[in-house]
Amino acid sequence: MSKPILINVTEEIVLGLVRFLLHSPGYQTFCDCEYCQMAICSVALNNLPTYYVSTSDAREEAYLTLKTQENLEVINKKIIAAIHEVGKKANHTI
Ligand SMILES: [Zn+2]
């Protein structure tokens, strides 16, 4: 059996989607620095259910469950709202 893990699969998916969205043409006006990326992820993740797993197999299953069209739409909506919320009060001077 492989080593046990403790991973929130929602977090992994959100991190990937936030990076992807911030680099897509529609979001060029938003800052994509590390600070803003993490701020966006934290806002989005506080508005989404967690999905913790402790084995690699469960992680694979969680990916299949979370990556359905329906779930991705919900996740994307929360991320887009978070991008706008963070973008409104981006308060760093980098
Ligand atoms: Zn920034």
Q: How many other CB atoms are there within 10 angstroms of residue 54's CB atom?
A: 11
Domain borders along the chain are 7-88
Task: Give the C-alpha separation, 7 to 23, whole Å.
Answer: 25
How many residues would you count in the chain?
94
Q: How far is the CA of 40 from the centre of ligand 1 (A)?
A: 10
Q: How far is the CA of 72 from the centre of ligand 1 (A)?
A: 25
User: In this predicted structure, what is the pLDDT of residue 26?
Assistant: 92
Nearest to 37 by CA among 21, 50, 25, 13: 21
Q: How far is the CA of 41 from the centre of ligand 1 (A)?
A: 13
pLDDT in tens, the chain (94 residues): 778 999 999 999 999 999 999 999 999 999 999 999 999 999 999 999 999 999 999 999 999 999 999 999 999 999 999 999 999 887 676 5
For residue 52, what are its two tokens? Answer: 């913790």
Q: How far is the CA of 52 from the centre of ligand 1 (A)?
A: 28
User: In this predicted structure, what is the pLDDT of residue 1?
Assistant: 72
φ and ψ at 4, to 5 degrees?
-70, 150
